[in-house]
Amino acid sequence: MSGKSVFNLDEKIAGALSYVLGWASGIFFLITERENKFVRFHALQSTIWFGALSILSVIFGLLKHMWLVGRLFGALGWVAGVVCFASWLFLMFMAFKGARYKIPVLGDAVEEHVDK
């Protein structure tokens, strides 16, 4: 780890900030950070993870209005919200701690992309 990031931020702070606004802050740091692989890893992981959860949330929100399966999708939407909030806190904490925590399956692909 090089220690500093774009805007002269400590890389742990920049990594944690990549998660603050979900995929939006992930995209911001992915665009602005060109050198620091630690920050780019967290920015890309944030973009993909929270982007996917946002899409699922919209889908569950639309499907909960269906007649028979509405309650199931309403419950799945609630679970997705809890997973989103818990992962948001956890991932910010891990980045702030300086860990390159990889979300299972997704993290390996992100790491491979950032490290090449």
For 49-59, what is each residue's pLDDT tens digit?
999 998 988 88
Q: How far apart are the first and last CA of the chain?
A: 16
Whole-structure pTM value: 0.87
Measured CA to CA, the distance from residue 15 to residue 84 in angstroms comes to 18
Q: Report the candidate in 88, 91, 109 with the shortest Cα–Cα distance to residue 100.
A: 91
pLDDT at 2 over 60: no
Q: How do the residues of the chain divide into helix, strand and coil, expressed in percent and rounded to 5? A: 75, 0, 20
- Give CA–CA dist 75/48, Å, rounded: 23
Q: Each residue of 60-102: pLDDT tens digit?
A: 777 777 766 666 666 777 788 898 999 999 999 999 999 999 9
